[in-house]
Amino acid sequence: MNALFASIDIGSYTARLLVARTGKPFPSLNPVLRKRAYTRLAGDFLRSGRGIIPDPAVDRLAGVIDDFVASAEIHRPVETYAAATGVLREAKNRDQVLETLRLRSGLEIRSLSGQEEAILSSLGVVYALGLEDRPYVVFDLGGGSAEIVVESSESRMVESLPLGASVLTGRFLVSDPPGELELARLESEIKSVLAGAAIRIPGEKTATVIAGTGGTMTALAAAVEGLDTDEILPERINGVRIRPQRLDQFIESWKNLSLKERMSLSSLDEGRAEVVVAGAMVVRGIMNYFGEVGVTACMSDLLEGLIIESGEKYARK
């Protein structure tokens, strides 16, 4: 199958667009366009105090989606697949928000459960890293939650945990730079959530492969490789190994910097600099939970997973 598809992910902190051409053998994907915008919905959600996405945030998001749809249409995709995750999934006014977006953009947006998000994200990671024949742990660390998939020859386990980088930043790291007590409370929260998780590696003490995706993982890989933000591409990020010692070094350095100082680092833009301390601490918690073997970064994720899943259905029409 040779066709052009678009996918959109509306997360808790960012919204992203991918336009890609499928090739043979499917699901070979050749990206044509990528775009990203920081929507910061998690902050609006928390500040509302009512479990909703406020109208100004909906208007801001609608502008981003309009831009994505217009950008994708230049390339004339045969289908555009859109998904809502994170705090938008949890919002009490989710259905009204999605209807507003549909009426304005004409786009049908699918609200994914945590398990659906985890499975679709792992599809993208497994495709990009070639993990099909190996036991693995794949996690997708977003702004509002972290989705984890454990795949082995015996079983597949999936869990969504409330460990999103943006939400945790808003809840725990209010000082700039964060204080030691704030960091200790965040560390305790991460350990507590993971201790209560049901997900395990059957028959193994540690994971053979741990792969992670999401903005924090991209930032960590970029820092390891010494990349500037304009050099960050899947070809440069996918497969980069982040070892426990380097991760500890990044956390120790970043937590002592003000937001302005973190923003001056070449591998971090303003949006990522805001939440990277909490995000990196979650990565360390997940790594420790499954065994300190290091983690492999991957930029291919839910966007690719949406095209792989939906492209297969399109081909069968």
Q: How confident is the model at residue 309 (pLDDT cuts 50, 70, 90)?
A: confident
Which of 114-123, 127-136, 289-298 reaches the highest mean pLDDT? Answer: 114-123
Q: Which CATH architecture has domain 115-297?
A: 2-Layer Sandwich (3.30)
- The H-or-E segment that residue 311 falls in is helix 302-315
Q: How confident is the model at residue 316 (pLDDT cuts 50, 70, 90)?
A: low
Q: Are 103 and 75 in contact (CB under 8 A)?
A: no
Sign of the Cα torsion 237, 239, 240, 244 reads positive
Give the per-residue pLDDT at 293.
77
Give the per-residue pLDDT at 133.
73
Give the per-residue pLDDT at 147.
93
The tens digit of pLDDT for each residue in 13-29 reads 999 999 999 877 667 88
Give the per-residue pLDDT at 156.
85
Residue 204 pLDDT > 70: no
2/169 Cα distance (integer angstroms):
42
Q: Tokens for 236?
A: 């440069």
Q: For the chain, how far is it from start to end, CA to CA, in angstroms?
A: 12
Task: Give residue limits of the domains in the chain.
Answer: 4-113, 115-297
Q: Tokens for 28?
A: 């070979």
Give the per-residue pLDDT at 205.
56
The tens digit of pLDDT for each residue in 63-94 reads 999 999 999 999 999 999 999 998 999 999 99
Residue 314 pLDDT > 70: no
Residue 247 pLDDT > 60: yes
Higher pLDDT among residues 26 and 272, named by residue: 272
232/237 Cα distance (integer angstroms):
7
Query: 3.60.21.10, 3.30.420.40, 3.50.50.60, 3.40.50.300: which CATH number matches 4-113?
Result: 3.30.420.40
Q: Are 221 and 212 in contact (CB under 8 A)?
A: no
Longest distance between any two alpha carbons in the chain, whole Å: 57
The tens digit of pLDDT for each residue in 89-109 reads 999 999 999 999 999 999 999
